[in-house]
Amino acid sequence: MARNLYFIGTAGAGKSTLVHTFQIWMNSQGLDCVTVNLDPGAESIPFSPDVDVRDWISLQGVMEEQELGPNAAQVAAADLLALNAKEIAEVLETFETSYFLIDTPGQIELFTFRSSGPVIVDAFGRDDSALVYLNDPNLVRTATGFISSVLLSATVQFRHGLPFLNILSKSDLLPEPDLERIVKWSLDPFALYEALFADQTTPKTLLDVEFLKSMEAIGVYRRLVPVSSEVMFGFEEIYNQVQQVFEGGEDLSKD
């Protein structure tokens, strides 16, 4: 049975690039996967999708037919995605593969807050799905930015209700001390508390701490896995986590 991995994150977090390089890595390990593009507005994708939503929905066509600007057309196209979900799912069923690597729209809100996201997940098979959430390295370099990223990832997790892999994308862009500090924050909330209070304490600092305590209490505060598409780093860890989610650790690689 094929598993659906939805790559999701803010614009510029590196979703499309990671889908491409993770596909290359999986193929190098003897693992079969199929790539899926769910962004009707994508102008340039670093891989050739096996299934492309642009075969069903044209952003330019939506703009012309409904006389909309680019932003409004993106919203309308996201809603059209829900209407085509069943047909796209039927196409996916024609593939014999182990994994679908699904590249979600660049604007995170289009897949997370519009109805099309949950509709797509249900059509493709909710029980066989997991989220790969990409944290932007530029956001998590500061303690307050790290908290903001935790809150956003928690919102995505609550919205979709799927197993969740927490990824630090583009980790090669971070100096080693910064990378070590960020990973430590994700492992040790007390280190993050200290970083929050190291700067001048403000009412916002206290609010950040309360948010952090809440995230710990409900179980969405978790370790970040550093990944780099540039140097092909961290992919084995992603795969291992996928196995824990779906197979209890059993490896699906071909003999």
Total of domains in the chain: 1
Q: If you average pLDDT over residues 209-230, what whole number do you get?
A: 76
Q: Is residue 227 part of a domain?
A: yes
Find all residues with CB under 8 Å of 177, minimum gap 6, and list them: none
pTM for the structure as a whole: 0.90
Q: What percent of the chain has pLDDT over 90?
A: 54
The least confident of 39-53, 83-97, 206-220 is 206-220
What size, in residues, is the chain?
Answer: 255
Q: Is residue 215 part of a domain?
A: no
Q: Identify any residues that bridge with 54 across adjacent strands, giving them in sequence order.
A: none
Q: Is residue 205 part of a domain?
A: no
Q: Is residue 40 part of a domain?
A: yes
Q: What's the CATH number where 97 sits?
A: 3.40.50.300
| pLDDT tens digit sequence for 89-127 | 999 999 999 999 999 998 898 899 888 899 999 999 999
Domain encompassing residue 31: 3-187+220-247
> Token match 């492992």: residue?
187
The least confident of 54-58, 138-142, 185-189 is 185-189
Q: What are phi and psi of 10, to 5 degrees?
A: -70, 165
Beta strands (DSSP E) in the chain are 3-9, 33-37, 51-52, 99-103, 129-135, 164-168, 225-226
Q: Is residue 203 part of a domain?
A: no
CA distances from 211 to 148, 154, 206 (A): 9, 11, 9
Q: What are phi and psi of 76, to 5 degrees?
A: -65, -40
Q: Identify any residues that bridge with 212 across adjacent strands, giving them in sequence order.
A: none
Q: Is residue 140 part of a domain?
A: yes
pLDDT at 253: 47
pLDDT higher at 118 or 215? 118
Q: What percent of the chain has pLDDT over 70?
A: 88
Token pair of 15, please? 């979703």
Q: Is residue 178 part of a domain?
A: yes
Q: Is residue 213 part of a domain?
A: no
